[in-house]
Amino acid sequence: MIRELLAVIDFGGQYSQLIVRRTRELGVYSELISWRDADRWLASHKPSAIILSGGPLSCLEPGAPTINFDLIQQIPMLGICYGQQLMALKLGGKIEQAHSKEYGFRKIETVDSDITGSLVSDLSSNEVWMSHGDQVMEAPPEFRITASTDSCPIAAFENTSQHLFGVQFHPEVSHTPAGTEILKRFLFEEAGLKGDWSSSGFIEEQIELIRAKVGDKKVLCAVSGGVDSSVLAALLIQAIGDQTVCVFVDTGLLRHNEASQIVQTFRHSFGANLLAIDASNQFLSALKGVTDPETKRKIIGKEFVTVFEEHADEIAECDFLAQGTLYPDVIESGSSTAAKIKTHHNVGGLPDSMKLTVLEPLKWLFKDEVRNVGRQLGLSSEIVDREPFPGPGLAVRIIGEVTKERVEMVQLADWIFRSELKSRNLNHGIWQSYAALLDVKSVGVMGDGRTYQHPIVLRAVQSEDAMTARAVPIEFQHLEAIANRIVNEVPGVNRVFYDLTSKPPATIELE
């Protein structure tokens, strides 16, 4: 079982999730706790250390985000940006609106050349990333100032006897080259953590928890062939063997030849107890005439319920429902720390008559962590390194109405795009690549004749955890060749675009 826990208190900062990722990469298990829930959470948990995140607001404003500092006494703590300012304010320091707001790269200088052993002394780089309007003007009593910039007099302070530290800059971002050194010093030297978080440790813990919770009952595991559900199924099979009942529903919204590949993988590679259901006509019929993306997602979720109701007799012996929900899904679906971006599809809202208890063993993992768990479980690279695919499938890659004809257009264009990337050795380092269909038409010329057909949008992005992403810079000659294949081989398409937008402001998927 995990013995160390780092609590990252989220004040709404754009880099809050990065703090969790960076600390987990260092072997420390961490969880992101909204400041709204922090007092209640801290009353029942005893974290080994705490990091206070940045945030967009001023702690000088009425009603500004805060927590009860009485609950975190004698716990090692690092405040970052807003977190540092809040520490200073709560512990007797002084905060003011900065005369010169800092955003971007700055160079910190140690305040006293005799200072050694601090978080910021003798770093490999003194370049840091700043993003703030307020700043600390007076450190709290018994704190020493350890670093400043040309416009920020207190870029870092600390009270080593109480293991309290604050930095105005962001050590969690890659723009702060020595940020990892700072986090390591805080976690291991000052907080005294061991770093006992690992994929293998997670597997052992979850197997123990699953066995304890499930007992001799059966678990229904909805599988899609994607990384998440595949790792989930492998974890369940290792934990409870044939008590795992895998169910694959072919919605008709999968990629080219994907349904048959999924069935073959789970039955032959996994040796799984698999129930495969072809409900493609049912889903397409339910989506007829629907254009709103959120309505599509809800309809797809509802149809999954209907499918499960229709096959209730075959899965009646199951008491649990396992889902491959991940941490980014939780955040984007509207957790307490983030606005709702879009509803993430999972098999939910099952009928009361089925009375299934939900299991989500992967709920607090990022995608790269899930891949590591899959490798530890012995899954092939073909499965583990598979590009993410949305739960609603091609329905969210078809702008407008979803029809069989439009699905086939996207399937073929998508297959051509990804096949060309692979054959040209361009697929390495790509997080996600796909083709999407727009709900417009444009004039073209083919064979000396006028066409009025659809455009295809190609998208390929680089990412670590799907929280942020940037377009892959594919050379024009490759894009041109791919576009030529698509307009020549996909009926109804006469134009191809390449999406260059990063996330944010866009999302990875179009809908």
Which listed residue (59, 81, 152, 221) is catalytic?
81
- Measured in whole angstroms, how far is the alpha carbon of residue 390 from the centre of its chain? 13
User: Residue 451 — φ and ψ, nearest 5°?
Assistant: -120, 155
The secondary structure of 33-53 as a DSSP string is: EEHHHHHHHHHH---SEEEE-
CB atoms under 10 Å from CB of 298, counted, come to 16
- CB-count exposure of residue 360 (10 Å: 0-12, 13-18, 19+): middle
Which listed residue (4, 59, 132, 170) is catalytic?
170
pLDDT at 113: 54
Res. 353: pLDDT tops 80:
no
Indicate the range of 95-104, 411-420, 427-436, 457-466 predicted with least confidence: 95-104
Structure tokens at 29: 């298990």
The stretch 22-49 carries a mean pLDDT of 92
Beta strand residue intervals within 108-199, DSSP E: 109-110, 127-138, 144-148, 156-159, 164-167
Which listed residue (172, 303, 332, 420) is catalytic?
172
Q: Which sequence spans correspond to the domains of the chain?
A: 6-190, 199-384, 403-498
Question: Any catalytic annotation for residue 489?
Answer: no
The model's pTM is 0.72
Rounded-to-integer distance, Cα 330 and Cα 190, Å: 32
pLDDT at 278: 94
Quick one: what percent of the chain has pLDDT higher than 70?
91
Shared fold status for 199-384 and 403-498: no
Give tens-digit pLDDT for 142-160: 999 999 988 888 999 999 9
Kindly report the CATH number that applies to the domain delimited by 6-190: 3.40.50.880
- C-alpha closest to that of 269 among 233, 215, 301: 233
Return the higher-pLDDT residue of 482 and 56: 482
Return the higher-pLDDT residue of 380 and 253: 253
Question: Any catalytic annotation for residue 152?
Answer: no
Rounded-to-integer distance, Cα 268 and Cα 73, Å: 55
| Side-chain-side CA neighbours of residue 110 (13 Å) | 14
Query: 53 Cβ partners below 8 Å, 6+ apart?
Result: 8, 9, 10, 11, 12, 13, 15, 16, 19, 80, 81, 82, 83
Question: Any catalytic annotation for residue 246?
Answer: no
Res. 98: pLDDT tops 80:
no
Mean pLDDT over all residues of the chain? 88
Return the higher-pLDDT residue of 117 and 184: 184
- Residue 330 pLDDT class (50, 70, 90 cuts): low
Q: Which CATH architecture has domain 199-384?
A: 3-Layer(aba) Sandwich (3.40)
pLDDT at 90: 94
pLDDT at 344: 44
- C-alpha closest to that of 72 among 145, 155, 163: 163
Beta strand residue intervals within 109-181, DSSP E: 109-110, 127-138, 144-148, 156-159, 164-167
The stretch 393-398 carries a mean pLDDT of 94
Residues constituting the chain: 511
Q: Does domain 403-498 have CATH number 3.20.20.140?
A: no
Return the higher-pLDDT residue of 476 and 463: 476
The stretch 172-183 carries a mean pLDDT of 92
The stretch 292-318 carries a mean pLDDT of 85
Structure tokens at 454: 């659809």
Res. 341: pLDDT tops 50:
no
